[in-house]
Amino acid sequence: MALAALLVAGCALIFPFQRVPIEVNPADAEVFVDGKAVGARDRSPNLRADKDHSVFLKRDGYRSELVILRPDRSDGRPRLEPMAVRVDLRPLVPGRDLEVEVERPETAPAAKP
């Protein structure tokens, strides 16, 4: 047990972590952090502060939003910015708004001679 505690403490010194609260309206919107679904109870994930993270918010009938968290090292120690995510999803307006999903090929097709 003591070894596990030391290991966790050592990792905290190597990789600084930061809790980032996520608030979204409507509250039942789906939340994905780094591509993984986050449940309604885990809306304050503890993230490594030394690397970028993506927060994707979506709900049917609303515009999806993507927030990128980036490390700020201006005071010498990495800190994620923004420090909290607060988003009001905007409803789609029929006839005016269009959402398009684009699939990107993993490799570009070979050029024709």
> What pLDDT digit, counting tens, does each position of 82-104 carry?
999 999 999 998 877 665 666 66
Please state, in angstroms and as integers, the Cα–Cα distance from residue 101 to each residue in 27, 64, 98, 104, following that order.
Answer: 24, 11, 10, 10
Residue 94 belongs to some domain of the structure: no
Residue 9 confidence (pLDDT) above 90: no
The pLDDT value recorded for residue 44 is 95
pTM above 0.75, yes or no: no
Residue 38 belongs to some domain of the structure: yes
Residue 74 confidence (pLDDT) above 70: yes
CA atoms of 12 and 6, how far apart (whole Å): 10
The pLDDT value recorded for residue 11 is 47
**Domain limits for position 84:** 2-88
Task: Count structural domains, the chain.
Answer: 1
Residue 105 belongs to some domain of the structure: no
Residue 106 belongs to some domain of the structure: no
Look up residue 55 and give its two tokens. Answer: 């927060």
The pLDDT value recorded for residue 40 is 80
Residue 101 belongs to some domain of the structure: no
Residue 6 belongs to some domain of the structure: yes
Mean pLDDT value across residues 25-46:
93
Look up residue 93 and give its two tokens. Answer: 């307006």
Residue 36 belongs to some domain of the structure: yes
Residue 29 belongs to some domain of the structure: yes
